């Protein structure tokens, strides 16, 4: 059973009671992500996430680590383009303790200078690891060029030279600008009582306030084009993509089906053609990203450089086919069955239920139950998929990024 309450300071609490579970998952979700940063702040959202684990007025760094372990479940955090989440999954009887720990980390971090310097080195190593991973680095290059000089295009981890200059005051100033009670959603799912969660969150967060004026989020526009990044690698890593749909767009179900048919699983067109028939790549896939005001549809692959012309020809052919004819009935039915199964299986995980609760509240302002989601997906028609394909698959609106050893002519997207 879903319930929602709003505290007097604007903080929202959303829960889903699942009495047949033995555990509960809870997340403190802030609608602050890397796209809320200024140019010289790039990486601060992620840095704040790290520093939440480095001590509060009531807990040392070691205390936090020990308590997470003692809870016997899982505790972690992550930063995205638009959100920061601190979450835990525990046995039901440990839920009050988990709420107390997460609230303390989110609301009362100390940002001590010695801890800041130690964690700076950790974050710099994380950035270095990303730079050493071509699959991740090509994504960074693509986003930066596709979104150009906009916060949404900057790396979530930040740039090393910028992170290296962060001060304690920088962290505090950015926190004052972005951490606001009306932008905090506490989501919990599992074996729990809604009123118990509201009472606990209320007592822990009642003093959370921010009198600073809110910061507005910059809109997004795209810059199609082809970008080459020469690097001595065994493989050539490719990303191509276009602007997709916002999270609340009514056609999101159609986009989900389109993506699945294109390259979302092993029976998708790209996987079957590029890997199984042509043997060009070990990994090729398409993916969707939904944001508050825009989206992204992209294709990723890693190949031997000499196979690039054949791969581009295959991509052009398959993307053109999606526009020329609607998917077949068996293809559409298979995609729907896949989604029905994966969504239903995720529903057996209270952490996945908690994630859905939070995202529904953040992007829709209401709860969409699993039956509503399945109904939306099952109602998608082949003609709707083709119509959306014709809208999204316009080559002049696509960008292409190549990372690796390629000195030939720039490939052409012609579908």
Q: What is the pLDDT of residues 272-303, one digit of tens each?
A: 999 999 999 999 999 999 999 999 999 999 99
Q: Identify the band that residue 241 occupies on the pLDDT scale cut at 50, 70 and 90.
A: very high
Tokens of 337: 């069955």
List the CATH code of the domain at 2-205: 3.30.830.10
Reply yes or no on whether the pLDDT at 73 is more than 90: no
pLDDT for 38 = 95
Q: Is 182 a catalytic residue?
A: no
Mean of all residue pLDDT scores within the chain = 96
Catalytic residue among 37, 49, 298, 318: 49
2-205 and 225-404 agree in CATH topology: yes
Section 304-330 average pLDDT: 97
Q: For the chain, give every domain's residue range.
A: 2-205, 225-404
Residue 10 has pLDDT above 90, yes or no: yes
CA distances to 3, 69, 72, 184, 388 from 93, rounded to whole Å, are 20, 15, 11, 24, 47
Nearby residues of 28 by Cβ (< 8 Å), 6 or more positions away: 85, 86, 87, 102, 103, 106, 184, 185, 186
Q: What pTM value is reported for the model?
A: 0.95
- Average pLDDT for 5-17: 98
**For 225-404, which CATH superfamily applies?**
Metalloenzyme, LuxS/M16 peptidase-like (3.30.830.10)
Identify the weakest region by mean pLDDT among 77-91, 210-224, 279-293, 330-344. Answer: 210-224
Is residue 145 very low, low, confident or very high in pLDDT (cuts 50, 70, 90)?
A: very high
Nearest Cα to 202, choosing from 12, 3, 395, 415?
A: 12
């Amino acid at each position: 059973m879903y319930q929602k309450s709003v505290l007097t300071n604007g903080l929202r609490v959303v829960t889903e009671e699942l009495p047949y579970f033995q555990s509960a998952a809870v997340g403190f979700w802030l609608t602050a992500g890397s796209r809320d940063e200024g140019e010289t702040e790039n990486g601060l959202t992620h840095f704040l996430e790290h520093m939440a684990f480095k001590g509060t007025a009531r807990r040392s760094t070691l205390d936090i680590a020990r308590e997470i372990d003692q809870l016997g479940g899982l505790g972690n955090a992550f930063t995205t383009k638009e959100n920061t989440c601190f979450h835990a999954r525990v046995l039901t009887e440990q839920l009050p303790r988990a709420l107390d720990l997460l609230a303390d980390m989110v609301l009362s971090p100390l940002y001590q200078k010695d801890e800041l310097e130690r964690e700076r080195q950790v974050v710099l190593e994380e950035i270095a690891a990303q730079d050493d991973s071509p699959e991740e680095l090509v994504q960074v290059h693509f986003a930066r060029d596709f979104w150009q000089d906009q916060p949404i295009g900057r790396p979530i981890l930040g740039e090393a030279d910028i992170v290296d200059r962060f001060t304690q005051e920088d962290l505090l100033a950015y926190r004052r600008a972005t951490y606001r009670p009306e932008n905090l959603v506490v989501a919990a799912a599992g074996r729990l009582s809604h009123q118990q969660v509201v009472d606990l969150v209320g007592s822990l967060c009642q003093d959370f306030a921010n009198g600073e004026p809110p910061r507005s989020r910059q809109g997004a526009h795209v810059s199609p084009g082809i970008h080459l990044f020469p690097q001595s690698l065994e493989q050539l890593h490719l990303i191509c993509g276009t602007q997709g749909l916002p999270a609340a767009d009514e056609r999101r179900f159609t986009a989900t089906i389109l993506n699945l048919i294109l390259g979302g699983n092993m029976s998708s067109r790209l996987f079957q053609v590029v890997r199984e028939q042509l043997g060009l790549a070990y990994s090729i896939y398409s993916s969707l990203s939904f944001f508050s005001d825009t989206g992204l549809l992209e294709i990723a692959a890693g190949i031997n450089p000499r196979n690039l012309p054949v791969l581009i020809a295959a991509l052009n052919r398959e993307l053109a086919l999606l526009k020329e004819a609607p998917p077949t009935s068996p293809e559409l039915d298979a995609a729907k069955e896949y989604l029905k199964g994966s969504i239903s299986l995720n529903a057996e995980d209270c952490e996945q239920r908690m994630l859905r609760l939070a995202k529904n509240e953040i992007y829709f302002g209401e709860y969409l139950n699993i039956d509503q989601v399945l109904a939306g997906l099952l109602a998608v028609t082949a003609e709707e998929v083709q119509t959306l394909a014709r809208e999204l698959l316009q080559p002049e609106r696509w960008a292409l990024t190549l990372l690796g050893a390629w000195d030939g002519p720039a490939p052409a997207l012609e579908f």
